Chains A and B, each alone.
Chain A
Amino acid sequence: MLHVSNLSVARGGMTLLSGVDFALNAGQILVLRGANGLGKTSLLRCIAGLQNPVEGQITAPETVAYSGHADGLKGQMTVLENLAFWALIYRGPSPNVALDAYDLHRLADRAAANLSAGQKRRLGLARMQVSGCGLWVMDEPTVSLDAHNVALFRAALNQHVQNGGAAVITTHIDLELASAQLLDLTRFKARGPAGSSAFAEALE
């Protein structure tokens, strides 16, 4: 479903990762690990098609469901309206399934502006379900979720891969996913003439 070969990604003109190779089939979850600033977000943005890689190839489905640091919610719209909007944009399934999965029925008529950070994140994750996309690309999905809601997320993720989906996730916590493969990106860290080291040399 997703094939990445010899990929180099850059942020702000500085190459962060190089020679990244991995493949992901339907029914698999790939968890990317690495320190802050290593280039995890840039790698995910490349996979989602928001950014061009410096080098290398990505073979991915035409549309992927992407979830970044911001949830893309409109505060003036209710929870249900937010979900229904994305369901129509993606021509995906009805929002009810997503409301069930993240226990959002009680909040369905509340304006998104009045949600707590964790509730907003749940709504952001529920959006993945109404996308109907096979591949989920998620950047730190568990930020601001409590243990109960992490469990809901784990269940939704397992359901997704059982239905033939796949997911690429970056996270700093252990999601306790039985089926997940772990990939530490530290070994792909770009070496060589990086912008900052040249700057440091000039200072000396």
Chain B
Amino acid sequence: MIQLFLRDIGLSVRSGGGFGLALIFFLIVVTLIPFALGPDQAALAVIAPGVLWLGALLACLLSLDRIFGLDFEDGTLDLLATSPLPLESVYMAKASAHWLTTGLPLSLAAPVLGVLLNLDYETGKILCLSLLLGTPALSLIGAFGASLTLGVKRGGLLLSLLVLPLYVPSLIFGAQAVRLAEQALDYDVALVLLSAISLGAAAILPFASGAALRINLR
């Protein structure tokens, strides 16, 4: 399982597509917003938590169909399914690798890009923390969606439609935590609920995804 995790990270760094794409997309969205909205700093600070979370979420969506898609096309997934490695572990390895190459860089870049949206340093820390706790759920749910749409020709659209509603709770609690921090209110509950979604996804989705993969490989 660790081997598969390391291989996926290696492939993603070497091919460039998966690793850089999400980060660049995030950068583009967040830098263009101030140009579109004008120089009103107070207005920017109000929308900053929502924009940063939404940007991270959409950036996460971009590389979802690559999680299983590439391995399915070149036959690797068939071979992994016949190997001693259970498909549940294949799912966990791939979702973790996806998080490490998209969720983690996005979380670290967000506070820096937050400066462009007039987000102060203290709130930036909470933003980073909320993304670190929330993005694992995005990768886990996304990888589950990818296993459901496996084998569907150009399933990217279907995948987005399936996954977006499931992303809503993470988006609500993530953006709320940052907004509360910005207003110097207590944000603990939002962060706890955000973590709960990630942990719940990690507990349930491997089995759901394993079953979906088995059906789609037939």
Interface residue B82 (Cβ < 8 Å from any Cβ of A): yes
Interface residue B4 (Cβ < 8 Å from any Cβ of A): yes
Interface residue A73 (Cβ < 8 Å from any Cβ of B): yes
Q: Which residues of A contact B208 (CB under 8 A)?
A: none
List the interface of chain B (C-beta within 8 A of A).
Answer: 3-4, 7, 10-11, 14-15, 71, 73-85, 217-218
B7 lies within 8 A of A72 (CB): no
Q: Which residues of B contact A200 (CB under 8 A)?
A: none
B188–chain A nearest beta-carbon distance, Å: 42
Task: Specify the chain A residue showing the minimal Cβ separation from B16.
Answer: A76
Known contacts A63-B83, A64-B82, A74-B11; A50/B75 CB under 8 A: no
CB pairs A–B below 8 angstroms (30 shown) = A50-B81, A50-B82, A50-B217, A50-B218, A52-B218, A62-B84, A63-B84, A64-B82, A68-B75, A68-B78, A69-B75, A70-B74, A70-B78, A71-B74, A72-B71, A72-B74, A72-B77, A73-B76, A74-B76, A76-B15, A77-B7, A77-B11, A86-B83, A89-B4, A89-B84, A89-B85, A90-B83, A90-B84, A91-B84, A127-B79
Interface residue A157 (Cβ < 8 Å from any Cβ of B): no
User: Which single member of A50, A65, A72, A88 contacts B76 (CB below 8 Å)?
Assistant: A72
B83 lies within 8 A of A89 (CB): yes
State the majority secondary structure of interface residues on A. loop
A140–chain B nearest beta-carbon distance, Å: 13
B83 lies within 8 A of A71 (CB): no
The 6 A-B pairs of least Cβ separation, nearest first, read A70-B75, A72-B76, A66-B82, A72-B75, A72-B79, A88-B3
Task: Specify the chain B residue showing the minimal Cβ separation from A124.
Answer: B75
Bound Cα distance A68, B82 (Å) = 11
Interface residue A49 (Cβ < 8 Å from any Cβ of B): yes
A-B pairs under 8 A by CB, number: 66
B217 lies within 8 A of A89 (CB): no
Q: Which residues of B contact A76 (CB under 8 A)?
A: 11, 14-15
Q: Which residues of B contact A66 (CB under 8 A)?
A: 78-79, 82
A46–chain B nearest beta-carbon distance, Å: 10
Bound Cα distance A62, B83 (Å) = 9
B82 lies within 8 A of A48 (CB): yes
B2–chain A nearest beta-carbon distance, Å: 9
Known contacts A76-B11, A85-B3, A88-B3; A49/B74 CB under 8 A: no
Bound Cα distance A41, B202 (Å) = 35
Interface residue A51 (Cβ < 8 Å from any Cβ of B): yes
Q: Which residues of A contact B11 (CB under 8 A)?
A: 74, 76-77
A134–chain B nearest beta-carbon distance, Å: 13
Bound Cα distance A78, B84 (Å) = 23
Q: Which residues of A contact B75 (CB under 8 A)?
A: 68-72
Q: Which residues of A contact B3 (CB under 8 A)?
A: 85, 88-89
Q: Which residues of A contact B81 (CB under 8 A)?
A: 49-50
